[in-house]
């Protein structure tokens, strides 16, 4: 359905996106995962024909969208990171306004608005002006606007950043429903790996403009088949303990967070006795040590040596 071919965008000396290849089949939910600045927004601005590539092509049903941007916009819905709504208008008035821009009118527009208000859970707040809405409600309405013209493909740029957990769950469930009930194809960007794990059939992981891994959840996690992750918890994990692990020959990688340390070691390595000894030497108590099921976050750490949320 959609194919990116060696797609690149350069800003002065910096490649925001470098030679990105990607394909999307009809009915898939594709995740584009990466930390801030990875190039996700730049990639989807090119996909939605809002920005011109420096090199490469975007093909939709085998046709370059670079030459057919107008036609392509009719079949794609874009949910930008920034909220694009009129805050002095009500939810319903916003939908009417954007609906007319898509040349919808009369009873068709009316029933479409009913359907969308219901879909994004805002029927009861339809008459309220948008400036009284929470961040999550604004984002839900923003998604509604992108769905007005029945797009075949919807592209969402980090739609859950900075909103309350309830709205976040609502949005995730709505995306799933759109996909399952209406066979909508979705490209979903995020730096939350758990969202992408929950939603997506296939995932592309980007870092600093480059594609560093792609595949299904399981395929990507198989990258870690030679390693395992150990999660260590303790009340006072001091500098001595952490540096003894950083310098340890059996430890491939380490990340630290409040009261916990995560190690990546070769699959066959058992660190238990070693950890007890190092804790004793550092004069601390460990509250728990256990092997962790790998996550996409671990894959990212493995591939880049940095945490996804740095």
Ligand X SMILES: Nc1ncnc2c1ncn2[C@@H]1O[C@H](COP(=O)(O)OP(=O)(O)OP(=O)(O)O)[C@@H](O)[C@H]1O
Count of residues in the chain: 310
Kindly state the smallest distance separating residue 49's Cβ from ligand X, in Å: 16
Between 220 and 275, CB nearer to ligand X: 220
Q: Is 32 left (phi over 0), alpha (psi -120 to 50) or beta?
A: beta
Q: Is 294 in the site for ligand X (CB under 6 A)?
A: no
Among the listed ranges 31-39, 136-144, 217-225, 276-284, the one in contact with ligand X (CB under 6 A) is: 31-39
Find the helix packing angle between 91-101 and 135-147, rounded to 10°. 30
Could you give the CA distance from residue 233 to residue 235 in angstroms, rounded to a whole number? 7
Count of residues engaged in binding ligand X, rule: CB under 6 A = 13
Q: Which of 10, 37, 83, 256 binds ligand X (CB under 6 A)?
A: 37
Contact 79, 156 (CB under 8 A): yes
Among the listed ranges 35-43, 212-220, 227-235, 274-282, the one in contact with ligand X (CB under 6 A) is: 35-43
Between 33 and 119, CB nearer to ligand X: 33
What residues between 147 and 166 interact with ligand X by CB under 6 A?
A: 158
Query: How far from chain centre, in Å, is Cα 282?
Result: 39
Contact 257, 234 (CB under 8 A): no
Contacts of 253 (CB under 8 A, 6+ apart): 263, 264, 301, 302, 305
Q: Is 309 in the site for ligand X (CB under 6 A)?
A: no
Among the listed ranges 36-44, 62-70, 262-270, 293-301, the one in contact with ligand X (CB under 6 A) is: 36-44
Contact 6, 55 (CB under 8 A): yes
What residues between 194 and 213 interact with ligand X by CB under 6 A?
A: none
SS3 56: strand
Q: Is 36 in the site for ligand X (CB under 6 A)?
A: yes
Structure tokens at 199: 């939603």
Between 35 and 234, CB nearer to ligand X: 35
Q: Which of 24, 29, 40, 275 binds ligand X (CB under 6 A)?
A: 40
Angle in degrees, CA 116, 80, 128, rounded to 5: 45
Report the 3 state secondary structure along 194-212.
HHHHHHCCEEEEEECCEEE
Contact 209, 302 (CB under 8 A): no
Kindly state the smallest distance separating residue 145's Cβ from ligand X, in Å: 20
Binding track, positions 11-30, relative to ligand X; x by CB under 6 A = x--x-x--------------
Among the listed ranges 40-48, 239-247, 259-267, 271-279, the one in contact with ligand X (CB under 6 A) is: 40-48
Kindly state the smallest distance separating residue 32's Cβ from ligand X, in Å: 8
Q: Which of 8, 31, 39, 145 binds ligand X (CB under 6 A)?
A: 39
Interface residues with ligand X (CB under 6 A) are 11, 14, 16, 34, 36-42, 158, 191
């Amino acid at each position: 359905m959609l194919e990116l071919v060696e797609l690149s965008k350069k800003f002065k000396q910096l490649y925001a996106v470098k030679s990105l290849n990607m394909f999307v089949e009809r009915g898939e939910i594709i995740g584009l995962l990466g930390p801030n600045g990875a190039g996700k927004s730049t990639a989807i601005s090119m996909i939605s024909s809002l920005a011109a590539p420096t090199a490469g092509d975007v093909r939709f049903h085998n046709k370059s969208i670079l030459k057919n941007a107008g036609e392509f916009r009719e079949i794609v819905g874009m949910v930008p990171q920034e909220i694009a709504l009129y805050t002095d208008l009500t939810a319903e008035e916003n939908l009417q306004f954007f609906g007319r821009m898509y040349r919808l009118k009369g009873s068709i527009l009316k029933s479409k608005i009913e359907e969308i208000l219901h879909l994004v859970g805002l029927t009861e707040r339809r008459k309220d002006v948008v400036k009284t809405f929470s961040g999550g409600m604004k984002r839900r309405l923003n998604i509604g606007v992108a769905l007005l013209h029945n797009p075949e493909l919807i592209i969402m740029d980090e739609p859950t950043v900075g909103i309350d957990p309830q709205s976040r769950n609502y949005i995730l469930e709505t995306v799933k429903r759109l996909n399952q009930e209406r066979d909508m194809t979705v490209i979903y960007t995020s730096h939350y790996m758990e969202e992408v794990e929950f939603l997506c059939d296939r995932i592309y992981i980007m870092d600093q403009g480059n594609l560093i891994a792609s595949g299904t959840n399981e395929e990507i996690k198989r990258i870690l088949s030679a390693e395992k992750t150990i999660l260590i918890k303790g009340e006072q994990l001091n500098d001595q303990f952490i540096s003894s692990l950083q310098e340890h020959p059996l430890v491939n990688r380490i990340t630290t967070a409040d009261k916990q340390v995560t190690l990546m070691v070769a699959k066959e390595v058992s660190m238990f006795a070693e950890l007890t000894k190092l804790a004793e030497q550092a004069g601390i108590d460990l509250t728990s040590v256990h092997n962790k099921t790998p996550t996409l976050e671990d894959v990212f750490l493995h591939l880049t040596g940095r945490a996804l949320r740095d």
